[in-house]
Amino acid sequence: MSHAIETESLEYRAGKQFALQRLNIHVPAGSIYGFLGPNGSGKTTTIRLLLALLRPQGGRIRVLDGEMPDDAPRLLARIGFVPEQPHLDVTFTVREMLQFQAAFYRTWDARRAEDLLRQFQLDDHQLIGRLSKGQKAKVLILLALAQRGDLLVLDEPTDGLDPVVRRDILFALLEYVSQYKATILISSHLVHELERICDWVGVLDDGRLLTETPMATLKNGIKRLRVRDAPASIGTAPFVVLARHAANGGGGAVTTAGETWVVRDWAPEMASYFDGIGASLDDVIDLDLEDSFVELLRASRAPAGRS
């Protein structure tokens, strides 16, 4: 599998309280990769490193067919970027903003820009400073898509927008990937939004990559199990136990009666494992992406030796 983005043991420290810790990220070419994490987890810092806006303090970054930051001038010409904070000149009209952006990109697609103006229902004579938040977000997406880049990097592009604007933007992104076979890295803390459009996901928390997997694998592989009569020590299981507690959910000590387990990397054939330890598996409960995300965070933040 070829990768549009690949990092190896990437490290960066921002002050005394936060550091990216040996990140190994692999974004498959042609995918929509959801970069998921709570606010402050390091998503924006990572993106700035990928785009050579910050210099790494350790490790290696490969983007498209080159190295960052060494090949940044050549590579950035092939990357569309939507930052977390809008960077538009409020004194320009929408039309002037398009003309300004087009001057920097040989691959600028004027026809697509016009199509997106109509699709997004933007008035090209309107001043940027008088646009609503949703309209500004549409302009930023338009600029990124009209560059016809091989890679789009979007940092919280729909945060705080109403559902109609989010739908319009996500539809345009899906259409772009389908038409041009481009790659998109989209960071967000809006879990359900990524669930609808992404085929890969990486989960970041406190500068650590907790998991990186196909979206379907994450959604189908994390389950909540109802278990009876399990021994206190269960040895080596064929899945990863993220949490184990009394079935009442009160956080009390594990007992030999009913328990709730949250497990990762589950497959249906693993049910036979419980016969081998003298326990009974009563139920296997599917979790949506948001529940899976929360359970991963809880497990990563639990003190050593506790679930």
Q: List the domains of the chain with CATH numbers.
A: 3-215 (3.40.50.300), 223-286 (no CATH)
The pLDDT score that the predictor gives to residue 195 is 86
- pLDDT exceeds 90 at position 50: yes
The pLDDT score that the predictor gives to residue 190 is 79
First to last CA, the chain: 35
- pLDDT exceeds 50 at position 307: no
Confidence of residue 304 (pLDDT cuts 50, 70, 90): low
- What single letter denotes the amino acid at residue 50? L
Confidence of residue 249 (pLDDT cuts 50, 70, 90): low
In the chain, % helix, strand, coil (3-state, to 5) comes to 35, 30, 35
Question: What CA dihedral angle connects 148, 152, 155 and 161, to 10 degrees?
Answer: 50
pLDDT in tens, 54-86: 999 999 999 999 999 999 999 999 999 999 888
> How many residues does this entry show for the chain?
307
Segment 208-219 mean pLDDT: 92
Cα–Cα distance measured from residue 22 to residue 230, given in angstroms and rounded to the nearest whole number: 37
307 closest CA partner among 268, 259, 256, 273: 259
* Strand intervals (E) in 189-294: 200-205, 208-214, 223-228, 240-246, 258-264, 280-286
Confidence of residue 192 (pLDDT cuts 50, 70, 90): confident
Question: Per DSSP, what are the bridge partners of residue 3?
Answer: 28
pTM for this entry? 0.89
What six digits make up the tokens of 38?
A: 């709570």
- What single letter denotes the amino acid at residue 255? T
SS3 category, 177: helix
Q: Give, as one character, the DSSP assignment of residue 71.
A: T
5 closest CA partner among 80, 79, 64, 66: 64
The pLDDT score that the predictor gives to residue 248 is 65
Counts of helices then strands in the chain (DSSP H, E):
10, 15
SS3 category, 53: coil
180 phi and psi, to 5 degrees? -115, 0
- pLDDT exceeds 50 at position 113: yes
- pLDDT exceeds 70 at position 96: yes
* pLDDT, mean over the chain: 91
Least confident of 192-201, 226-235, 252-261: 252-261
SS3 category, 16: coil
- pLDDT exceeds 70 at position 173: yes
Listed in sequence order, the DSSP H helices in the chain are 43-50, 72-76, 94-102, 110-119, 133-146, 163-180, 191-197, 215-221, 273-276, 289-301
